[in-house]
Amino acid sequence: MTPFSETRLRVRYAETDQMGVVYYANYLVWMEVGRVDLCKACGFSYRDMENDDGVLLAVAEAQCRYRAPAHFDDEVIVKTWIAEANKRMVTFAYEMRLADSETVLATGITRHLFVNRKMERTRMPDKYRPLFGVDAGRDE
Protein backbone atom coordinates (compact mmCIF):
# COMPACT_ATOMS: atom_id res chain seq x y z
CA MET A 1 0.00 0.00 0.00
CA THR A 2 1.30 3.45 -0.90
CA PRO A 3 1.69 5.61 2.21
CA PHE A 4 -0.26 8.84 2.26
CA SER A 5 -1.06 11.65 4.63
CA GLU A 6 -4.05 13.89 5.04
CA THR A 7 -3.43 17.38 6.35
CA ARG A 8 -6.29 19.58 7.47
CA LEU A 9 -5.99 23.34 7.25
CA ARG A 10 -8.31 26.29 7.42
CA VAL A 11 -8.14 29.00 4.74
CA ARG A 12 -6.84 32.23 6.23
CA TYR A 13 -8.13 35.57 5.01
CA ALA A 14 -4.61 36.51 3.90
CA GLU A 15 -4.65 33.54 1.49
CA THR A 16 -7.55 34.96 -0.52
CA ASP A 17 -7.44 37.42 -3.39
CA GLN A 18 -9.62 40.38 -4.33
CA MET A 19 -12.25 37.99 -5.70
CA GLY A 20 -12.54 36.29 -2.31
CA VAL A 21 -11.02 32.99 -3.44
CA VAL A 22 -7.74 31.37 -2.47
CA TYR A 23 -4.90 32.89 -4.48
CA TYR A 24 -3.52 30.23 -6.82
CA ALA A 25 0.06 30.20 -5.45
CA ASN A 26 -1.18 29.17 -2.01
CA TYR A 27 -2.01 25.72 -3.33
CA LEU A 28 1.74 25.18 -3.86
CA VAL A 29 2.33 26.18 -0.23
CA TRP A 30 -0.32 23.69 0.87
CA MET A 31 1.43 21.00 -1.18
CA GLU A 32 4.62 21.70 0.77
CA VAL A 33 2.74 21.39 4.06
CA GLY A 34 1.36 18.05 2.89
CA ARG A 35 4.80 16.87 1.77
CA VAL A 36 6.35 17.58 5.17
CA ASP A 37 3.46 15.77 6.89
CA LEU A 38 3.86 12.80 4.55
CA CYS A 39 7.53 12.50 5.50
CA LYS A 40 6.49 12.38 9.17
CA ALA A 41 3.87 9.73 8.35
CA CYS A 42 6.60 7.70 6.62
CA GLY A 43 8.68 7.80 9.79
CA PHE A 44 11.23 10.55 9.26
CA SER A 45 11.61 14.29 9.48
CA TYR A 46 12.26 16.30 6.34
CA ARG A 47 14.39 18.65 8.47
CA ASP A 48 16.49 15.77 9.84
CA MET A 49 17.09 14.47 6.33
CA GLU A 50 18.51 17.90 5.45
CA ASN A 51 20.43 18.51 8.68
CA ASP A 52 21.68 15.00 9.52
CA ASP A 53 22.12 13.49 6.07
CA GLY A 54 22.87 16.60 4.00
CA VAL A 55 20.21 15.61 1.46
CA LEU A 56 17.75 18.16 0.15
CA LEU A 57 14.81 17.81 -2.22
CA ALA A 58 15.12 20.41 -4.98
CA VAL A 59 11.91 21.11 -6.88
CA ALA A 60 12.39 20.30 -10.56
CA GLU A 61 8.75 20.55 -11.61
CA ALA A 62 5.43 21.63 -10.13
CA GLN A 63 1.98 21.27 -11.63
CA CYS A 64 -1.41 22.22 -10.25
CA ARG A 65 -4.81 21.81 -11.86
CA TYR A 66 -7.46 24.04 -10.33
CA ARG A 67 -10.97 22.58 -10.30
CA ALA A 68 -13.06 24.60 -7.80
CA PRO A 69 -12.47 27.67 -5.63
CA ALA A 70 -11.82 27.67 -1.89
CA HIS A 71 -12.81 30.64 0.26
CA PHE A 72 -11.90 32.21 3.58
CA ASP A 73 -12.53 29.91 6.58
CA ASP A 74 -13.10 26.79 4.45
CA GLU A 75 -11.54 23.66 5.92
CA VAL A 76 -9.33 21.98 3.32
CA ILE A 77 -7.86 18.48 3.32
CA VAL A 78 -4.56 18.04 1.49
CA LYS A 79 -4.00 14.37 0.62
CA THR A 80 -0.37 13.65 -0.27
CA TRP A 81 1.30 10.48 -1.50
CA ILE A 82 4.39 9.34 -3.38
CA ALA A 83 3.45 8.78 -7.00
CA GLU A 84 6.90 7.65 -8.15
CA ALA A 85 10.37 7.39 -6.66
CA ASN A 86 13.81 6.15 -7.53
CA LYS A 87 17.29 6.77 -6.12
CA ARG A 88 17.62 10.09 -7.98
CA MET A 89 14.17 11.71 -7.73
CA VAL A 90 10.75 11.52 -6.14
CA THR A 91 7.35 12.65 -7.39
CA PHE A 92 4.70 13.60 -4.85
CA ALA A 93 1.03 13.76 -5.80
CA TYR A 94 -1.65 15.87 -4.14
CA GLU A 95 -5.39 16.21 -3.96
CA MET A 96 -6.89 19.21 -2.17
CA ARG A 97 -10.57 19.07 -1.31
CA LEU A 98 -13.15 20.74 0.91
CA ALA A 99 -13.54 18.81 4.15
CA ASP A 100 -17.31 19.25 4.42
CA SER A 101 -18.34 18.40 0.86
CA GLU A 102 -15.49 16.35 -0.64
CA THR A 103 -15.38 18.85 -3.53
CA VAL A 104 -11.99 18.54 -5.22
CA LEU A 105 -10.36 21.97 -5.30
CA ALA A 106 -7.13 21.07 -7.04
CA THR A 107 -4.80 18.22 -7.93
CA GLY A 108 -1.10 18.40 -8.55
CA ILE A 109 2.36 16.93 -8.50
CA THR A 110 5.81 18.10 -7.54
CA ARG A 111 8.94 16.36 -8.81
CA HIS A 112 12.10 16.67 -6.73
CA LEU A 113 15.74 15.82 -7.30
CA PHE A 114 17.91 14.63 -4.44
CA VAL A 115 20.77 17.11 -4.06
CA ASN A 116 23.53 17.79 -1.54
CA ARG A 117 24.25 21.09 0.19
CA LYS A 118 26.23 22.27 -2.85
CA MET A 119 23.07 21.71 -4.94
CA GLU A 120 24.76 18.85 -6.81
CA ARG A 121 22.65 15.85 -7.74
CA THR A 122 23.04 12.93 -5.39
CA ARG A 123 21.33 9.66 -4.56
CA MET A 124 18.75 8.98 -1.91
CA PRO A 125 20.48 7.56 1.18
CA ASP A 126 19.84 3.84 1.65
CA LYS A 127 17.96 4.30 4.91
CA TYR A 128 15.20 6.28 3.14
CA ARG A 129 14.67 3.87 0.25
CA PRO A 130 12.10 1.63 1.99
CA LEU A 131 10.27 4.73 3.27
CA PHE A 132 9.97 6.07 -0.28
CA GLY A 133 9.11 2.63 -1.68
CA VAL A 134 12.37 2.29 -3.61
CA ASP A 135 13.82 -1.20 -4.05
CA ALA A 136 17.36 -1.26 -2.63
CA GLY A 137 18.48 -3.39 -5.60
CA ARG A 138 17.23 -0.97 -8.26
CA ASP A 139 19.74 1.62 -9.37
CA GLU A 140 17.81 4.07 -11.54
> Which residues are annotated as catalytic?
17
Structural contact between residues 102 and 112, judged by C-beta atoms closer than 8 angstroms: no
User: Does residue 90 contact residue 55 with C-beta atoms inside 8 Å?
Assistant: no
Nearest to 60 by CA among 16, 11, 114: 114
**CA 102 to each of CA 11, 70, 74, 81: distance values in angstroms, whole numbers, following the listed order:** 16, 12, 12, 18
Distance between CA 16 and CA 70 in Å, rounded?
A: 9
Ranges assigned E (strand) in the chain: 4-10, 56-66, 75-85, 89-98, 104-115
